[in-house]
A and B are shown apart, each in its own frame.
Chain A
């Protein structure tokens, strides 16, 4: 009954360090998403992947890279972390591509602090 699993749940980085947030889903969904949630800003889309090997930029992609190596996993990488990237990151998945309007399922979130 895992659904969408994110690791790590918490991380503290220093400015300039790099790290990768991992996301895996076991629902055989095609689409996967990375969002960030900031106080007063709501959730904003960072990147989207419709299928293995394809990715599209969202609303706030700068400073991030993603990788969709297989259907289950979608990772988010910060190459050189900045304090502005302090946020809660959510991975989500959906059975259908975003143009078809499927229901979204979210992970528990990864809380990142950049000092």
Chain B
């Protein structure tokens, strides 16, 4: 059974810092991996989708990498801003098509 783990559960950094959020999964047979952002009391906003054949995807200050063989993905946020404060979730789509979510990393960027 696929399990997705995100470490750390919470992270607090000063504004301007570059940071990395981690996501690991137990079954490397995946279709893709998606990173989401969730603001308090809101839905999930898709940030980046990495297909299993890809190594990374970039959008603005965000860069997500995927290493299927080691079961790991990282989300890199450059020059963090207070507006980046949110919970970040990764989700893995496995061989049966189901999307399995991690429990998220709650990020706080201090001005």
Contact A103 B34 (CB under 8 A): yes
Q: How large is the interface on A (under 10, 10 to 19, 20 to 34, 35 or more residues)?
A: 20 to 34
A13 to B44, alpha carbons, bound, how many Å? Answer: 25
From 54 to 113 in chain A, residues with beta carbon under 8 angstroms from any chain B beta carbon are 58-59, 90, 92, 97-101, 103-109
A66 to B52, alpha carbons, bound, how many Å? Answer: 31
Q: Contacts of A101 on B, CB cut-off 8 Å?
A: 31-32, 51-52, 93, 97
Number of interface residues, chain B, beta carbon within 8 A: 23
- Grouping DSSP codes into helix (H, G, I), strand (E, B) and loop, the B interface class, with mixed when no group exceeds half, is strand
Question: Given that A40-B103, A42-B102, A104-B34 are contacting pairs, would A99 and B97 also be in contact in the complex, using a CB cutoff of 8 Å?
Answer: yes
Q: Contacts of A107 on B, CB cut-off 8 Å?
A: 43
Question: Given that A42-B104, A98-B93, A101-B31 are contacting pairs, would A108 and B43 also be in contact in the complex, using a CB cutoff of 8 Å?
Answer: yes
Contact B43 A90 (CB under 8 A): yes
Contact A109 B51 (CB under 8 A): no
Q: Contacts of B51 on A, CB cut-off 8 Å?
A: 101
Residues of B within 8 A of A (CB): 31-32, 34, 36, 41-46, 49, 51-52, 89, 91, 93, 97-99, 101-104
